[in-house]
Amino acid sequence: QSVLTQPPSVSGAPGQRVTISCTGSSSNIGAGYDVHWYQQLPGTAPTLLIYGNNNRPSGVPDRFSGSKSGTSASLAITGLQAEDEADYYCQSYDRSLSGYVFGTGTKVTVL
Amino acid sequence: QMTLKESGPTLVKPTQTLTLTCTFSGFSLSTSGVGVGWIRQPPGKALEWLALIYWDGDKRYSPSLKNRLTITKDTSKNQVVLTMTNLDPVDTATYYCAHRPDASGFHYWGQGTLVTVSS
């Protein structure tokens, strides 16, 4: 029962740019809460990819970028590489639920 | 270096109570703004936030599981414990604990522990 909706899958050829949307509501993203993004490689724990809407932790390539507008957020991957094939999740806070919420997840496939 | 590690049973019978322990290092849960949360992921499914405890003892629970969850901390032992009652096979999942340094998301995650609920 995720309250943040993502497309189930996106794909692209190496070198291309792909974007993943994260659609929320006025009680989470639209209320001004930050959006964070996680990458989960197959068989591993999630890792923080983007925090505070558009900030990269140390070590994350600048090919990854985030943005937020209204009740939605997006993650962009430019110069897609084979090692980017993974599941990606957005996350925020919801004031109606008084708790944290994750997106439905998006599988990125490199063609 | 911040590390977290989950521990607990790998197999639990339906209706039983699950107790998971998150043992961490590299940070203190008495530092202002810090929190430790629990997140689970059923096989092949999405992440689901369960609970979080803050440095000041404040607690937050997922509304859908609130009646079944209890989160506690032992600052001296660098541990956070999650208890879930009345387990059901749908609770089969990998359970992660994660470090929240402030309002900037979950920065560090444990490796996760797979819990199977089956008779």
Strands annotated E in B1-119: 3-7, 11-12, 18-25, 35-41, 48-54, 59-61, 69-74, 79-84, 93-100, 108-109, 113-117
Phi, psi dihedral angles at B92 (to 5 degrees): -60, 125
pLDDT of the residue at B23: 98
Low-confidence residues in chain A, pLDDT < 50: none
Q: Which residues contact B28 (CB under 8 A, 6 or more apart)?
A: B34, B75, B78
Q: Given this model, what pLDDT does residue A1 score?
A: 60
The Cα A1–Cα A9 span in angstroms is 18
β-strand pairing of B93-100 with B113-117: antiparallel
Residues of chain B scoring pLDDT < 70: none
Q: What's phi and psi for B17, nearest 5 deg?
A: -105, 135
- Residues of A in Cβ contact (< 8 Å) with B105: 34, 36, 38, 48, 51-52, 91
- d(CA B88, nearest CA chain A) in Å: 17
Query: Tell me, what's the pLDDT at A94?
Result: 96
**Tokens describing residue B1:** 């270096």
Contacts of B112 in chain A (CB under 8 A): 45
Q: Looking at CA atoms only, how far is residue B71 from chain A in angstroms?
A: 14
Taking phi over 0 as left and psi of -120 to 50 as alpha, with beta for the rest, A79 belongs to left
Residues of A whose CB is below 8 A from B44: none
| Cross-chain residue pair B49–A101, CB shorter than 8 Å | yes
